[in-house]
Amino acid sequence: MNEMKFRGKVVDMQLPNGELLTGDFVYGSLLQGNGLCRILTAATKCFLNYRVDPETVGLFSGLIVEGKEVYPGDFLHVKAYMNGFFDCSLFTRKELITMDLSIFKAQLWKEYDCEVTYKNGAFLFGDNYMYPLFEDMRLCPTIYEVAVIGNRFDNPDLRMKIEGEKI
């Protein structure tokens, strides 16, 4: 079963050591009620709960790119390649899945930046459902390379660029 993990940006909070946290992302379980939105995190010997801005809260997509967890609101740089061996009858499925993915990349079909969203129970990157990123792309018509390049909360210039490209 997948872990239900959330991310949100802390609203002014003073830690016991006097340090003021604001605008930092925290990760953990989501608590909502009485008009407040909080993220509960497991520290070494106790649980900490942080008041977070509800506009910044997102559910972990399950995708990890180059060691970074991907959440709604993250921006991705995407390279989409045509799969040169898709629908190929020269190899069996068993043979295909043992081959290096790089040899499957035919021509670069599309390159773009987009935002990860969560709509109707599914994660999307741009207009594409995210599930191909979890599959063995050797067996898919498109091979994707993705990199996390920022998020909508920390990178307003990138947000304006990406939203401008969608119009």
**Cα atoms in the Cβ-side hemisphere of radius 13 Å centred on 145:** 13
pLDDT in tens, 60-115: 999 999 999 999 999 999 999 998 877 767 778 788 888 888 888 989 999 999 99
Total count of residues recorded for the chain: 167
Say if residue 167's pLDDT is above 60. no
Cβ atoms within 10 A of the Cβ of 56, count?
A: 22
- Quick one: pLDDT at residue 44? 56
pLDDT in tens, 104-130: 898 999 999 999 999 999 999 998 899
Enumerate the domain spans of the chain: 6-57, 64-166
Say if residue 144's pLDDT is above 90. yes
- The pTM of this model reads 0.85
